[in-house]
Each structure stands twice: as structure tokens, then as C-alpha cells.
Amino acid sequence: LHKKPQRPFPMPIQTNDLTIELRGDQQQIALITLNRPSKRNALNDGLVLAIRDVFQGMPHSVRAAVIHGHGEHFCAGLDLSELSERDAAAGLHHSRMWHHALDQVERGPVPVVAALHGAVVGGGLELASACHLRVADTSSFFALPEGSRGIFVGGGGSVRIPRLIGTARMADMMFTGRVLNAEEGERAGLAQYLVPQGTALDKALELATRIASNAPLTNYALMQALPRIADQTADHGFFTEALISAIVQDAPEAKARVREFLEGRGPKVKKQ
């Protein structure tokens, strides 16, 4: 650690490998595209830092985001060509850089829906796991090839992936190189929606539009309180829930929405 350089990672931000496009009549949806298809959207340092920066600098109009990959695959994970030069200290800082970047996704300003297709592997699965919902099309496949490459996850996967699918399933994927197809991934909990090939982005945009229409404080509570409550004891969780629910229901928007329903103007819950 004493060898830590002054600025271990430069501040690139300007990269064509990541694009952001605002959609919706009020620019409330951000469409974020991994745009490095020739390398299967492998995440080099510049791309990881660009992800950090796009979430840190999210325009105020945005209420929900979608992230997807250009080309045949969502993301091939860590750019392995950058791995060889790193010693242990650099590896530690590199992993913490990923943690910081993906924390901006998970605990950032807006809910994020991942639209998945093709390879969702290694760091690509770690990125998808930091999102709040995942939509997989039938071409998707999920793997953690770190096991066979002689390395370990470093982008928060050991924390986030077991929370989606359990420690035993993640261990299986790393021990044995098991590749889950789209149906298996959805059944295991890696994706919340399974859709026909080529339609994940449309479905993710539809979901993001729906999410963006929620009261912002409800979305904030879902992003910030729900995962923290999951980490608490039941006793602490009940108390945190009571605090958050008291704050959220006190907002004028909550009062207005409840009044709308009671006056017969609010939407009813419809059987699908």
C-alpha cells in the first residue's frame, strides 16, 4: 500500500465507449450504452470511470436509467488486457475503484434497469448486479469465468451476486465455470424479466418509464432503504421501515396520490 501512486487512476470521462442519451418528453429517462462492441464491451479502466462519472453527473431531469450494451453482447467483463501489469497494491486499488464506480450505480441518483443480451459475464455480471432490475432476452448467458482465469471477482460480485442467487449458486459458477442460459439465469434470480431475443431494451425502457412515474421519494426509499434493511437484523429493519414509511407518506405527492384514488381518479390495481 505504501506504493500507492498519487493518482492511481486518471480522470478520463471523455470516452466514446460510453454514451448517454436522454429520452422522454421531459428527458426523464437516461439511456446509457456500453459502446465498445469490438471488444465485447469489456470494461477497461476508462470505461469503469466513465460509468462512475455518468451516474455522478446525471442530469437533474432524469428519473430512471437503462444500461445496455451495443453489439452482440451486454459485457465481457473486465478488460483482461489491462490485468497483467498490476501488483497486489495496484490490484487492491483497482478493485476499490470498481466498487466506487458501481456504488454510484447502486446507490446513485436514480433507479437503473439493465437490458441484457448475449454475454453477461465476470465484471459484466457485476455491473448488472449493481442495477436495480435486470431484463434478459433469450440470447443472454451468465458466467463467472474468474475461476478459470485464476482470479477472483473484484467488482463487488461476491457481495451482490449471492444476494441475488445465493452463495452456493455463485460458488458453483466460479468453481465449475457453469454457464447459465437465459432461462436458468431468470429462474435463479439473476434477471427479473425474461423476454424474446432482441426485445430487452424495449422492455427495459418500458419499465424505466413506469418507474420514472413513481413518486421520487418512494423510488429513493426503494434504492436506499430496502437494501440496507435487508442487511439489518429484523428488529432494526422494522424500526428503519417505520421511519422511512413515515417520511415517505408525509410528502405532499403521497397525500395527493392517495387522495386521487379515494376520489375515484387514481389508477386501480389491474390483474395482468
C-alpha span between 191 and 137 (Å, rounded): 9
Q: Determine which residue in the list 145, 161, 173, 200 makes contact with ligand 1HE, applying CB under 6 A.
A: 145
Q: Determine which residue in the list 121, 165, 170, 229 makes contact with ligand 1HE, applying CB under 6 A.
A: 121
Kindly tell me the number of DSSP H helices and DSSP E strands found in the chain.
Answer: 11, 9
146 among known catalytic residues = yes
Reduced to 3 states (helix: H, G, I; strand: E, B; else coil), residue 84 is: coil
CA-CA distances (angstroms) from residue 187 to 179, 181, 192? 13, 10, 9
Name the grid cell of 234. 429484523
Buried/exposed code over 169-197 (b: 16+ C-beta within 10 A; e: otherwise) = bbebbbeeeeebebeebbebebbebbbee
Footprint (CB under 6 A) of ligand 1HE, residues 35-54: 39-40, 42
- Strand pairing partners for 78? 43
> At which residue does the C-alpha cell 390495481 appear?
269
Work out whether 93 is an interface residue with ligand 1HE (CB under 6 A). Answer: no
Work out whether 149 is an interface residue with ligand 1HE (CB under 6 A). Answer: yes
Work out whether 155 is an interface residue with ligand 1HE (CB under 6 A). Answer: yes
Q: Determine which residue in the list 30, 49, 153, 223 makes contact with ligand 1HE, applying CB under 6 A.
A: 153
CB-based closest residue to ligand 1HE: 122
Instruction: With contacts defined by CB under 6 A, name the span among 16-24, 57-65, 145-153, 209-217 that binds ligand 1HE.
Output: 145-153
Work out whether 98 is an interface residue with ligand 1HE (CB under 6 A). Answer: yes
Taking the least distance from each CB to ligand 1HE, the nearer of 92 and 226 is 92
Name the grid cell of 193. 424479466
Q: How many residues bind ligand 1HE (CB under 6 A)?
A: 23
For residue 60, the one-letter residue type is: H
Instruction: With contacts defined by CB under 6 A, name the span among 103-111, 147-155, 192-200, 249-257 that binds ligand 1HE.
Output: 147-155
Name the grid cell of 203. 422492455
Reduced to 3 states (helix: H, G, I; strand: E, B; else coil), residue 19 is: strand
**Order of all β-strands in the sheet with 180-181:** 119-121, 141-143, 180-181
Footprint (CB under 6 A) of ligand 1HE, residues 56-75: 72-73
Residue 106 C-beta-side C-alpha neighbours within 13 Å: 21
Q: Determine which residue in the list 17, 53, 79, 186 makes contact with ligand 1HE, applying CB under 6 A.
A: 79
Name the grid cell of 221. 426509499
Work out whether 100 is an interface residue with ligand 1HE (CB under 6 A). Answer: no
Q: Which residue among 82, 146, 186, 253 is the active-site one? A: 146
Q: Which residue among 126, 183, 241, 253 is the active-site one? A: 126
Taking the least distance from each CB to ligand 1HE, the nearer of 24 and 177 is 177
CA-CA distances (angstroms) from residue 92 to 4, 98, 164, 231? 10, 10, 25, 25
126 among known catalytic residues = yes
Work out whether 101 is an interface residue with ligand 1HE (CB under 6 A). Answer: no
Residues at the site binding ligand 1HE, with contacts judged by CB under 6 A: 39-40, 42, 72-73, 76-81, 98, 119, 121-123, 145-146, 149, 151, 153-155
Catalytic amino acids? Answer: 126, 146
